[in-house]
Amino acid sequence: MKSTPLNYPKMKKILTCIISLLLLNHVTAQQATPISASMNKVKLDFILDAGGRPEYKVDYAEKPLINTSRMGIKLANDISLDSNFMVINTERKSVDEQWKPVWGEVSTIRNHYEQVTIHLKQKNNLGRLMDIVFRVFEDGVGFRYEFPIQPNLKYFIVSDEITEFALTGDHKTFWIPGDYDTNEYPYSTTKISEIDNRSMVNASDDIAVKVCPDRYAVQTPLMMKTADGLYINIHEAALVNYSAMQLHVDTKTFKLKASLVPDAIGNMAYMRAACHTPWRTIIVSNKAGEILTSKIILNLNEPSKIENTSWIKPMKFVGVWWEMQTGKSTWNYSNNADIVGADGLLIPNHTHGANTANVERYIDFAAKNGIKGVLVEGWNYGWEEWFGNWKENVFSFVTPYPDFDVAAIAQYAKDKGVVMIMHNETSGSATDYERQMDTAFRFMNKYGYTSVKTGYVGKIIPRGEHHDGAWMVNHYVRAAQKAAEYHIMIDEHEPVRPTGLQRTYPNWMACEAGRGNEYNAFGHGDKPEHETIMPFTRFIGGPMDFTPGILKVKDYTVLPNKQVHTTLVKQLALYVVLYSPIQMAADLPENYEKYADAFQFIKDVGVDWDDTKIIQAEPGEYITTARKEKGTENWFVGAVTNQDSRDEIAPLDFLNKGQKYIATIYADGLDADWDKNPESYKITTYLVDANTKLKLKLAPGGGAAISIKPVSGDTKGIEKYK
Amino acid sequence: MKSTPLNYPKMKKILTCIISLLLLNHVTAQQATPISASMNKVKLDFILDAGGRPEYKVDYAEKPLINTSRMGIKLANDISLDSNFMVINTERKSVDEQWKPVWGEVSTIRNHYEQVTIHLKQKNNLGRLMDIVFRVFEDGVGFRYEFPIQPNLKYFIVSDEITEFALTGDHKTFWIPGDYDTNEYPYSTTKISEIDNRSMVNASDDIAVKVCPDRYAVQTPLMMKTADGLYINIHEAALVNYSAMQLHVDTKTFKLKASLVPDAIGNMAYMRAACHTPWRTIIVSNKAGEILTSKIILNLNEPSKIENTSWIKPMKFVGVWWEMQTGKSTWNYSNNADIVGADGLLIPNHTHGANTANVERYIDFAAKNGIKGVLVEGWNYGWEEWFGNWKENVFSFVTPYPDFDVAAIAQYAKDKGVVMIMHNETSGSATDYERQMDTAFRFMNKYGYTSVKTGYVGKIIPRGEHHDGAWMVNHYVRAAQKAAEYHIMIDEHEPVRPTGLQRTYPNWMACEAGRGNEYNAFGHGDKPEHETIMPFTRFIGGPMDFTPGILKVKDYTVLPNKQVHTTLVKQLALYVVLYSPIQMAADLPENYEKYADAFQFIKDVGVDWDDTKIIQAEPGEYITTARKEKGTENWFVGAVTNQDSRDEIAPLDFLNKGQKYIATIYADGLDADWDKNPESYKITTYLVDANTKLKLKLAPGGGAAISIKPVSGDTKGIEKYK
């Protein structure tokens, strides 16, 4: 990751491309018949229409999945790359390979696709070149536009992308508004014809920064279900140097069109040939669970650019955080940044959470319970007026408040075998963060912090830019790259939603970019169905720092009318259902001590996995997921339901045949209910094996969590499950 | 300069201010009569009109200089701070003090003014507070707006500034267009009523980036002369956290109105009370020379924020630069960034100037001639496509081209007693420079570079921002601050024009922000009058890296139709007339070797001064300046004229009485002419003293340069000047 001249490392590759192009010198006539590629049930057709307009369609199981849809982009200065093309050549490639992620839901990933590259040239004297590359997988299609080195297209500005997804019917859709600055809306479930984000945008007064000019725009990953029971997910992969793709919905024709997030002056991307767009992705299956296990997004990303990944370690963590969310303490040290005491320092408000004694209490708790990390928010100067003012220089990332003894805390944590997690909130001032980044990361190295949680609450600086615009897209990548230089893992809050870049930068453990548990504190809360939709939408792009594990579901210290909209047990189940290689145990130590037997599941559950099985799933209704902890024979199962109670059979046929296991079942109490009685639970232990079929009873807004470990000692007194 | 929590160091001061305000608790009635302040001939009146609108006027020698002019600012969200005010109190202060600049035109500066602060409050229920602070000097007025801490104004966005300068007549004016991105236009000399920048903007195809939406906008420092022979200069001091003030001209009423440079979304500044605007300045005298020696701008700036300044050292330098300007060699190493050779590296074009052998030639030349510094442009990767593409990642600031051996060159320079000057061209990508800045400065420290020349050719990134907007204003300051952290002197090219901040950051040696000698190479050239206007305009704000000293005035290596629009001798005179603590000897070593006797003046001339005398001056016509070299008894005189030849008497009455000196006079040849015969010159040596009156003959576009040193040895054969 050391500094090298920009672009130059890629030159050999580019030279190879030029040579390849020279070999393809026989120009073919315009194709009347489609150019096709298939894998199993998925069939892709590319067509140039009479106007030389590139179009594609996708069939699944011999039925139309995506009707004929337009392709191409438009550039500044009235340059159109969406028509008047001819096909000059076609290349094909078959790939079937396996690779191992540094961490993940499975230990080995198969990358199996048919690729077809269509070399297009415009039929005018400029003869501009554009390639469209399709990859057809067993469970969907990815495609992108590529621009080779050519005489009449070098630097260019993207003004619009023409890409369409022409749907075949008025599908059921799980959507959030296509906002330029936030992904933190609750999900709406409607028909396509009913999509209109206006009322949701207006109602969402719990979101700090919202910019959503198109009432018919929705965010991706967009999850849909057809009347025929097909599940479709549209998203993008490897979003770099381009703005996020949202979808503008034609509610009459069911056509979705790419809608890019503009920069401060209305442009979408600044490119330089040779270059390419991100991949546009369509995942499809007749089984909802296969949407959850699809690896198309990861497979379309580049392999890790970090050679030595030994320092990247999944973990669980606690933190000085929920106590601020619930009003027990504050991020800010003082109540007025304009007044100082006789010592020249801010006057303390004595409600500041990130004080040394309190932090050491969390370290003690983590050490005692085998939780590896401790996050502390509010440790540094700036929180007195941290967001909402579009201020550029808000925080120092190396200056602790007077009551936070960074050196003593670092030593205390080290002595206890705990690692500290840095917090760098930027208030959206990305320019200021980039200025301080090197200094901030050196500070982390000095004090032994191995990971950082970043944040972007507020309007973005450079002013006029958006969280999901191309400049910020590159900023998030730069932050991950810079963190990697310093061997720091990163967890970005309020970024653009992920597109699988964690494969390329495996120190990029998670991000937020979605509506997390925190909205149950300061906001209108998450509906009980929320966590049954999130894995089909937000999590398709990558892990989320959702911050599960709030066991004191109601009656927070200060906020009497707020509560988590799940049962206690569903909070446990989320550690399995919501995938992340870093998982917070988000509640207060005192609440975990109160529910120490339930907390045992959080202590036990894995954070990195050899295998993942979706036992059953239906978006908006239920998900039951089983995962095998990496390098062990331990399995963990999480089941969640929406507002409806549910009886479920969970066969454990993924267990090794003939092996006996002990299952600890954390179940909703019989009288449990997310609203009326959320903290009712029951823990039972049984002997199980691959033939066991667990009968789970999920309360309204409830769930179940099960840890399954091979029998290793005395099983006396443990019943066989029946 | 170490990192401290932002804003907090100022707190004690703020607290003091609050206490001061509390003491001023007796609200006075609205003033019907003006609030006045005077010093010698300068009288300032402040008035609130019937609508509570703040206004001011200035008299000079009991005649109106500035007629009644409106004041105030407007904020976003329709907040007006320009009317409906009452005066709640007035404070007065007299200051007469002296201070010593780290370097400068004089060794001691007197700061002598009467200050009046008018505390205003709006007559509505919000009662917003605004203070106007006037400082009245012997040679002009400075004023600014201040915003104390108050309940109803904390964070605010400036949308317009109302400040007017109502002139008393249709003055003769020396102006350049009020462009958002460049100060590199040639000057126009017209009446105010004739100002219209359109044709100049359209004709200036030699300027890379121009944005000038208002045809009646002009840049400051704006120099004027009244029909009565008064000289007036309007500018600003201490421009930080605010955009540059240009002036919109009403050609009918002769009113100038402040016109601020907008940011990417049309705002002018983002402020947080307590805060203030920059100072608006009016310098006035009936002697043109006193405009040149005014210290108002410096006095209105804060004292040095750098405690230890021992590492800041004025110097002369040569550089690998003019040879690229004149086409002899290239900045870029290769002619095509898309092709690499078998070694994976760029294919060299063999015209690259910054190669080790050539650089060592410049080092040899500098060492031999006692020139301290060597600048090298084009040493680092990126120049193949360096500007014009709005590309963000253009340059690596730590990666030399393959033929530039940075370590060997560093050692070679060190062995020869020469210091290398770093070059960091950004192509306008300020965001990328801020990211790399720490790394770049560490690289300079590692290789012994003690100063850096920065550059901003091209459209600014953050895209939508302008060179003269508030974001970039702060960027230039940040670059100077960051340089100071690393004990690096800085010379910024293509920044906003200076406003005296070199007092506060004395490592900020010079900047460009004006039309330098280089336009005689790649552009339409500088008119012969150019250097007689520049000291009255651009240089009022601070030193410029003009790059004088081109002795081979015509017939550059490659550009046959270009030439410098001065005589050779005038190039010498510029080292005295154009003040800078860093001065380039800009021509090629071979040209200096050709004119070794004339080059002697450049070798001898000082770069830091104890004293400065303007012998005579008239903007657009002539300037003769004498300066005493710091810590010596050596004087240097420079005289320049416009296109007209001129006979001039230069009395040397500034010399010590009774002391004998040897004067070496570099004069235009009798047949010299900037166009027809520019390189004709004659060097003579005489004994002179304080009674000597030199008779100088300046050719059209010519000048004279004189070095005067006390007699220290044998004077046999040296005639007494008659």
Per-residue pLDDT tens over the stretch A27-47: 444 445 899 999 999 999 999
User: If you average pLDDT over every residue of chain A, what do you get?
Assistant: 95
Contacts of B392 in chain A (CB under 8 A): 270, 474
> Is A462 in the B-facing interface, judged by CB distances under 8 Å?
yes
Residue of A nearest to B478 (CA): A435
- Report residue A7's pLDDT band, with 50, 70 and 90 as the boundaries: very low
- Contact call for residues A71 and A82 (beta carbons, < 8 A): yes
Q: What is the model's pLDDT at position A33?
A: 84
Residue of B nearest to A346 (CA): B8
> Is B229 in the A-facing interface, judged by CB distances under 8 Å?
no
- Contact call for residues A667 and A701 (beta carbons, < 8 A): no
Residue of A nearest to B391 (CA): A270
Closest CA of chain A from B376, distance in Å: 18
Structure tokens at A543: 């892990």
- Look at residues B536, B530, B612 and name the one whose alpha carbon lies nearest to residue B571: B530
- Contact call for residues B234 and B220 (beta carbons, < 8 A): yes
- Contact call for residues A232 and A65 (beta carbons, < 8 A): yes
B471 vs A463: CB contact, 8 Å cut-off?
yes
- Report residue A364's pLDDT band, with 50, 70 and 90 as the boundaries: very high
Closest CA of chain B from A489, distance in Å: 20
- Contact call for residues B74 and B160 (beta carbons, < 8 A): yes
Does the pLDDT value for residue A568 go beyond 60? yes
- Look at residues B193, B42, B223 and name the one whose alpha carbon lies nearest to residue B617: B223
User: End-to-end CA distance of chain A, in Å?
Assistant: 55
B464 vs A340: CB contact, 8 Å cut-off?
no
Closest CA of chain A from B117, distance in Å: 22
Q: Could you identify the residue written with the tokens 């007017």?
A: B164
Tally the residues of chain B.
722
B340 vs A272: CB contact, 8 Å cut-off?
no
A391 vs B270: CB contact, 8 Å cut-off?
yes
Closest CA of chain B from A52, distance in Å: 30
Q: Number of C-alpha atoms within 13 angstroms, CB side, residue B692?
A: 23
Task: Report the run of H or E that residue A86 belongs to, with start and end.
Answer: strand A85-99
CB count within 10 Å of CB B289 equals 20
Low-confidence spans in chain B with pLDDT less than 50? 1-31
Contacts of B265 in chain A (CB under 8 A): 264, 463-464
- Contact call for residues A450 and A484 (beta carbons, < 8 A): no
pLDDT digits (tens, 9 = 90+) for A183-201: 999 999 999 999 999 999 9
A264 vs B394: CB contact, 8 Å cut-off?
no
Closest CA of chain A from B526, distance in Å: 33
For chain A positions 139-168, those within 8 Å of chain B (CB to CB) are: 149, 155, 157
> Is B51 in the A-facing interface, judged by CB distances under 8 Å?
no
Closest CA of chain B from A435, distance in Å: 6
- Look at residues A423, A499, A598, A412 and name the one whose alpha carbon lies nearest to residue A237: A499
- Look at residues A381, A379, A384, A425 and name the one whose alpha carbon lies nearest to residue A405: A379
Q: What is the model's pLDDT at position A541?
A: 98
CA dihedral A408, A409, A413, A419 (to 10 degrees): -130
Q: Which residues, listed in sequence order, are joined to residue A60 by a DSSP beta bridge?
A: A42, A63
Q: What is the model's pLDDT at position A17?
A: 42
Tally the residues of chain A.
722
> Is B339 in the A-facing interface, judged by CB distances under 8 Å?
yes
Does the pLDDT value for residue A287 go beyond 90? yes
Of A157, A398, A431, the CB nearest to B434: A431
- Look at residues B708, B696, B693 and name the one whose alpha carbon lies nearest to residue B668: B696
Structure tokens at B391: 């590309």
Contacts of B390 in chain A (CB under 8 A): 155, 157, 270
- Catalytic residues of A, which ones? 518
Q: How much is the average pLDDT of A72-85?
A: 98
CB count within 10 Å of CB B465 equals 30
Residue of B nearest to A482 (CA): B435
Helices (H) then strands (E): counts for chain B = 13, 38
Q: What is the model's pLDDT at position A32?
A: 59
The DSSP output letter for A195 is: -
Q: List all residues 6 or more positions away from A317 whose beta carbon is below 8 Å from its beta carbon.
A: A366, A371, A372, A373, A374, A375, A421, A582, A583, A584, A585
Q: Could you identify the residue written with the tokens 């360096």?
A: B386
> Is B435 in the A-facing interface, judged by CB distances under 8 Å?
yes
Instruction: List C-alpha distances in Å: A415 to A407, A420, B143.
Output: 12, 12, 59
Residue of A nearest to B461 (CA): A462
A392 vs B8: CB contact, 8 Å cut-off?
no
A338 vs B272: CB contact, 8 Å cut-off?
no
> Is A96 in the B-facing interface, judged by CB distances under 8 Å?
no
- Contact call for residues A573 and A639 (beta carbons, < 8 A): yes
- Report residue A59's pLDDT band, with 50, 70 and 90 as the boundaries: very high
Closest CA of chain B from A198, distance in Å: 24
Contacts of A337 in chain B (CB under 8 A): 7-8
> Is A347 in the B-facing interface, judged by CB distances under 8 Å?
no
Q: Could you identify the residue written with the tokens 């050519």?
A: A150
Question: How many Å apart are CA B322 and CA B325, to the nearest integer?
Answer: 5
- Contact call for residues A87 and A131 (beta carbons, < 8 A): no
Of B149, B265, B396, the CB nearest to A6: B396
A344 vs B11: CB contact, 8 Å cut-off?
yes
CB count within 10 Å of CB A3 equals 13
A434 vs B437: CB contact, 8 Å cut-off?
no
Task: Report the run of H or E that residue B596 belongs to, with start and end.
Answer: helix B596-604
Contacts of A434 in chain B (CB under 8 A): 431, 434-435
Q: What DSSP string describes B651-718?
A: E-TTSPTT--EEEEEEEE-TT-BTTTBTT-EEEEEEEE-TT-EEEEEEPTT-EEEEEEEE--S--TTP
> Is A432 in the B-facing interface, judged by CB distances under 8 Å?
no
CA dihedral A551, A552, A558, A562 (to 10 degrees): 80
Residue of B nearest to A399 (CA): B5
> Is A465 in the B-facing interface, judged by CB distances under 8 Å?
yes
Question: How many Å apart are CA A325 and CA A563, to the nearest integer?
Answer: 12
> Is B464 in the A-facing interface, judged by CB distances under 8 Å?
yes
Question: How many Å apart are CA B255 and CA B383, to the nearest integer?
Answer: 45
CB count within 10 Å of CB A415 equals 10
Q: List all residues 6 or more positions away from A266 whose beta carbon is below 8 Å from its beta carbon.
A: A159
Question: How many Å apart are CA B518 and CA B494, to the nearest integer?
Answer: 13
Q: How much is the average pLDDT of A268-288?
A: 98
Tell me, rounded to whole angstroms, the distance of Cα B8 from its chain centroid. Answer: 31
- Which residue in A1, A2, A4, A7 has the most chain B C-beta atoms within 10 A of its own C-beta, making it the best mutation to test that interface? A7
> Is A12 in the B-facing interface, judged by CB distances under 8 Å?
yes
Q: What is the β-pairing status of strands B140-147 and B129-137?
A: antiparallel
Residue B462: is the preceding peptide bond cis (ω within 30°)? yes
- Contact call for residues A394 and A426 (beta carbons, < 8 A): yes
CB count within 10 Å of CB B328 equals 15
pLDDT digits (tens, 9 = 90+) for A620-648: 999 999 999 999 999 999 999 999 999 99
For chain B positions 389-408, those within 8 Å of chain A (CB to CB) are: 389-396, 398-399
Question: How many Å apart are CA B681 and CA A493, to the nearest integer?
Answer: 70
Instruction: List C-alpha distances in Å: B437 to A353, A560, B311.
Output: 35, 49, 20
> Is B63 in the A-facing interface, judged by CB distances under 8 Å?
no
Of A272, A395, A463, the CB nearest to B265: A463
> Is A264 in the B-facing interface, judged by CB distances under 8 Å?
yes
Please identify which of the residues B323, B377, B492, B518 carries the catalytic annotation. B518
Q: Could you identify the residue written with the tokens 């991706």?
A: A220
Q: Could you identify the residue written with the tokens 């939709």?
A: A533
User: End-to-end CA distance of chain B, in Å?
Assistant: 55
Q: Is the ipTM of this complex over 0.90?
A: yes
B390 vs A270: CB contact, 8 Å cut-off?
yes
Does the pLDDT value for residue A292 go beyond 80? yes
Q: What is the model's pLDDT at position B32?
A: 58
- Contact call for residues A249 and A256 (beta carbons, < 8 A): yes
Instruction: List C-alpha distances in Å: A573 to A513, A539, A606, A679, B479.
Output: 21, 16, 12, 14, 51
Strands (DSSP E) contained in B472-597 are: 489-492, 508-511, 582-584
